[in-house]
Amino acid sequence: MSALSFSLKTTRSANNTNEIAMVSCLVHQDINQDGPTNTTKVNQFTIMRKLDKKPWPFDMQQKLKQKQDSQVALFETER
């Protein structure tokens, strides 16, 4: 059995609607429902999108490459 925990970050658009800006997930695999879980098979990933035509920070790609254990996917739109 696996468990997924996630966190959503939203923002207000120019049209005054809520839009998803970021989703982060933590997946714990092989959990034991009847007692303590002894394995540490945990995966994590983050999905981010650009906000209302604002540029990414100039060194963001470089900083993400320096973090070997992070899995971050960048997208241009919410869709």
Q: What CA–CA distance (Å, rounded) separates 79 from 64?
A: 22
- Domain count along the chain: 1
What's the confidence (pLDDT) of residue 69? 67
CA pair distance 56, 20, nearest whole angstrom? 16
Could you list the residue range(s) of the whole structural domain that residue 23 is in? 3-75
DSSP β-ladder status, 18-28 and 42-49: antiparallel
Q: Which two tokens stand for residue 75?
A: 């997208």
Write out pLDDT tens, residues 33-43. Answer: 888 887 777 88
Output the six-digit token pair for 65. Answer: 């490459």
Sheet holding 18-28, edge to edge: 3-12, 18-28, 42-49, 72-75
Report pLDDT digits (tens) over 59-74: 887 887 787 667 888 8
